[in-house]
A and B are shown apart, each in its own frame.
Chain A
């Protein structure tokens, strides 16, 4: 029966890993949405070696331990295979190394199974093992290195192979404690002289690890020691006392040790410092959130964004690509090993083997809980590995030694277990592990499902920028469908190109480093395909590729030929021009100078934001200019040709809503209303709206710039205006005002104004079509920051003539 169940379980594990390998092979095709890609193949070496190792160990177990536990090995094999494929997916070089380590660990396991079955030698040489382990760990104080070059020096390196002695030291401590306590099982365990040797040994190991700053291993030692005392003495107060002590140590460490301080702060308030102390944990949570329920599929997510995803954060990497479904399975596998381990402990034929099995379970359980809880922000981060799964030769080898011990102990020839005085500690231990793993499952669901969307919308989620490289972004086109901003290249290397760079302050940019600005930002949902597409299509793309569907084109009301004329007129001046269809509110021209070239953002992005001329600013909607009497035609129409007093005028500005921020698909500057008329400021958009009312029979139109979106099913559909048109002045008064502002020889009305506040001077020109104009009514504003009234008038007149004579 044993062999048959183990056979069947290993078969399922092999099928799972085979399918995962298939997914990894095909993953580039899914990413780039094409069959014509470079497929991944090297990980099949890992799968083949895994299969060979699993088969050989299975045979060795059948032969040497006929009565062993049939669940532990298949679960451990599945975990290590899964870890191996994940490591291979993250980094092929490390994948090859991990494959080698899997082979070595399996060979050692098979050799151990053949040579020694009853573990008596461990008991006899307990002190030699322990002292050896401590000495080797001590060597890292002198010869320690770190394979990554920086960070704690916890490894011993020989010829490119690195070994972390604190990993096997955990098992050596377990062996020593089991042997020592098994010999004294009948004596009272609460007496200090009894425990002195274990306290000294554990304290020594702890001291060593504290000097090395290997806090993860140190906390595991404390937990293992506690669990041993608890199992041997059966007193619940041991757990409570240690819990209180650990909390105290944590508090003291919080105030005195900078590493602990940083970790605790990063744990309690990760959102305050997302780029510093909390960078790792937030990236880990983002990976979990991106996994969602089903995961992105092996090779299709972006787990490499999480630092050290290969070892400490491998759980986050698995969560991203296998999803909640996968991590729940992973947690069940860990639980299977722990639960079977505790059963093995209870059935063990003597106290030494019973304690040894329980200690191994404690080691595996505590370490798994610490790192999974750390990845999910249930616990402060401790840099330990996930047994069987994480990359690392020392970690894998130690996990396999633990596996060997459990399997050897489970093979009881004598059906009668040693007498057990008190079964309760084992139940409590099982309960604690079950609760901990359950908490991990709930936390995983919380971040992946409940908080998933809000996490993924964070600006520090680089996955959005990665998706942009693989998914076609919609184009921005002008009123005649001439392209303005387009995406070129092939999937995996899509690049945004700006065909009319002069419009940059208006249309903005989308960039992996600098983010988004202008219209690119305000209609991003359409361009990215998240709006305007059917919900089913969005969900389907999310499921298949983990990205939004291809984006939709957005049409702007801008007319590129007029825009070009305006830009040529504005040239080197600093200022803004808006030409608006006074009836519909559509903006035909919006120019803001100085401008910049978003195609060169990679090189110039940093200097642009520091440029004192603020080229990034869209002066047409964000330039808060001194208003002067720029609203004169509008005001005269409103007050029947007589200018009211200053205080009445100010009150009118305030109540009429003329100076509130118009709603439009662009960022608009806003400022508190001033107390003095001289301090009045206005943005060109507000001025042109007032001018539009004069040319449009007194109605202020709703301004629009993004006018339509090209959907898949219905073609171009109109995007509604964000604001409402409203009647501001009587139609007759507007007509009279327009007529009174037509200067001799002009075919349009116009008004030049000058606003001064402090050192800021602005020259305005507002203009519009006359009442008898047969075509669409137009309104124009020109605002120049340099002190040349003539230039503003000339630019305005030239542009008006060009438009009217078209």
Chain B
């Protein structure tokens, strides 16, 4: 008799242990879902780039992705045919709510408004980027509103209202 009652308590204890683990996994699953939703909800403001190559006509390109590769490689988002441009020359990335220009150790260097780019640098609308011999004119979409991080946090769809 005593053994049966203790057995029930033992089994309940084991169930509680796995209850803990089950809830931990449920929470983890929800967190992954939430994170996916947050990431897919995160909008990258569009960016327009006017590409001017020596001897060629200017071409306007529009992007709404978070990373834009610039280089001579045809796989790059902005593919330049100029010989002074390295295969992977530089890239534009969007994080911390800003567009950043970073030189990828190119042979002839990258210049922003005439100044060499050595560390990732924030760019704004109207900036002029020089990759080797090629020039790029950047204009950011009008509807970009730079908000403090704090408000974005609160906008995360964490709790379905």
Contact = CB atoms under 8 A, between A and B. Distances in A.
Contacts of B21: 329, 332-333, 336
A12 B20 contact: yes
A67 to B, nearest CB: 9
B24 interface: yes
A19 interface: yes
B56 interface: no
Contacts of A325: 14, 17-18
Contacts of A545: 3
Interface residues of A, dominant DSSP? helix
B27 interface: yes
Given A23-B6, A33-B2, A5 B14 contact: no
Interface string B1-42: 111111101111110111111011001100000000000000
B4 A544 contact: yes
A300 interface: yes
Contacts of B19: 12, 15-16
Interface stretch (A68-76, A308-316, A402-410, A444-452): A68-76
Given A70-B27, A415-B149, A35 B17 contact: no
A30 interface: yes
Contact of A416 (B2, B7, B96, B158): B96
Interface in A140-191: none
B57 interface: no
Contacts of A414: 149
Contacts of B9: 19, 22-23, 26, 297
A329 to B, nearest CB: 4
A292 to B, nearest CB: 12
A297 B10 contact: yes
A294 interface: yes
B5 A71 contact: no
Interface in A284-330: 294-295, 297-298, 300, 322, 325-326, 329
Contacts of B147: none
Nearest to B153: A415
B113 to A, nearest CB: 24
A9 interface: yes
B60 to A, nearest CB: 30
B6 A29 contact: yes
Nearest to B18: A329
Contact of B24 (A297, A322, A336, A544): A336
A99 interface: no
Contacts of B152: 415
Most buried by A among B4, B9, B20, B158: B20
B134 to A, nearest CB: 27
Nearest to B3: A544
Contacts of B95: 416
A76 to B, nearest CB: 12
B6 A9 contact: no
A80 interface: no
B158 A16 contact: no
Contacts of A297: 6-7, 9-10
Contact of A12 (B1, B4, B23, B159): B23
A22 B16 CA distance: 13
Contacts of B27: 5, 8-9, 70-71
B2 A34 contact: yes
Interface string A404-425: 0000000000111000000000
Given A30-B2, A336-B24, 6 more contacts: A16-B20, A19-B13, A35-B2, A294-B10, A297-B9, A544-B6
- Across the A-B interface, the 4 shortest Cβ-Cβ residue pairs: A544-B3, A19-B13, A29-B2, A16-B16
14 contacts: A1-B158, A5-B27, A12-B16, A15-B16, A16-B13, A16-B16, A16-B20, A35-B1, A75-B24, A325-B14, A336-B21, A414-B149, A415-B149, A544-B3
